[in-house]
Amino acid sequence: MTPPGDPLRADAGVTLVELIVALALFALIAVAGFTLLDSVLRVRERTDGRLERLAEMQRAMQILTADFEQAAPGPLAFVGDAVVFRRSGAAAEAPDVTVGYVLLGDALTRVVGDASAGAAPQTLLPGVAALEWSFYAPGSGWAPTLPLAADGLPRRPTAVALDMAVVARNGAPSGRLRRVVALPAAP
């Protein structure tokens, strides 16, 4: 028998069974931690994709709204699915510029400047399946074509609406997006 203070006591060490149990518990905790971390990273990726898509949509709608709210006096042209108009210059001495919106491929595209001068298209919102314009005129309401004056020529609407079918990208949901912009009153 060994004395109680002796370092060679039989119960002073760790048995192989205790070591295996400890390693098994550590492995279970590590697997649970890895699974939790993987789950959090996947949710973060999906959320980042949705936030990026939302930011794309907000930027596109902000530019579109700014252009239409600064539309210069005069008519709008509507051909097929393209809307073209003149936008007032940024400064009082700046000239008006032609702005157009059209669906090119699967993207809402903005064209600034005259096509004859080589205006470069600017992709505002990729992932657009379809778009529809509608125009509001007092007395006749919303219509898919420009309102007509008594002489049969197109007259300026008081508001423009854009409806888009947006395709899912980066984990973001798909759906319809609508923007209504009131045009400035003609002088």
Question: Residue ranges per domain, the chain?
Answer: 41-182
Give the whole-number percent of the chain exceeding pLDDT 70.
Answer: 85
Residue 141 CB neighbours (<10 A): 10
Q: Residue 169's closest CA among 60, 46, 79?
A: 46
Burial class (CB in 10 A: 0-12, 13-18, 19+), 30: exposed
* Region at 130 (left for phi over 0; alpha for psi -120 to 50; beta for the rest): beta
CA distance 76 to 161: 13
Alpha-carbon distance of 1 to 105, in angstroms, equals: 90
| The pLDDT of residue 170 | 63
Give CA–CA dist 101/66, Å, rounded: 13
pLDDT tens digits, 171-185: 666 789 899 999 987
What local confidence, expressed as pLDDT, does residue 135 receive? 93
Residues in the chain: 187
pLDDT in tens, 88-124: 876 666 788 889 999 998 999 999 886 666 778 899 9
Burial (CB count within 10 angstroms: exposed 0-12, middle 13-18, buried 19+), residue 99? buried
Q: How far is the C-alpha of 187 from the C-alpha of 185, rounded, in Å? A: 6
Q: Tell me the whole-structure pTM to 2 decimals.
A: 0.71
Task: Tell me the average pLDDT of the chain.
Answer: 84
Please give the pLDDT value at position 185: 78
| Spatial separation of the C-alpha atoms in residues 172 and 178, rounded to whole Å | 17
Using alpha carbons, select from 105, 125, 114, 120 the residue that is nearest to residue 63: 125
**Cβ neighbours of residue 44 under 8 Å, at least 6 residues apart?**
none
Chain segment 7-17, per-residue pLDDT in tens: 566 666 788 89
Of residues 75 and 182, which shows the higher confidence score? Answer: 182
Locate tokens 């539309």: which residue?
Answer: 71
For residue 67, the model assigns a pLDDT of 92
pLDDT digits (tens, 9 = 90+) for 152-164: 777 889 999 999 9
End-to-end Cα separation, the chain, in angstroms: 112
Comparing CA positions, the residue from 163, 171, 109 lying closest to residue 135 is 163
Supply the pLDDT for residue 10: 60
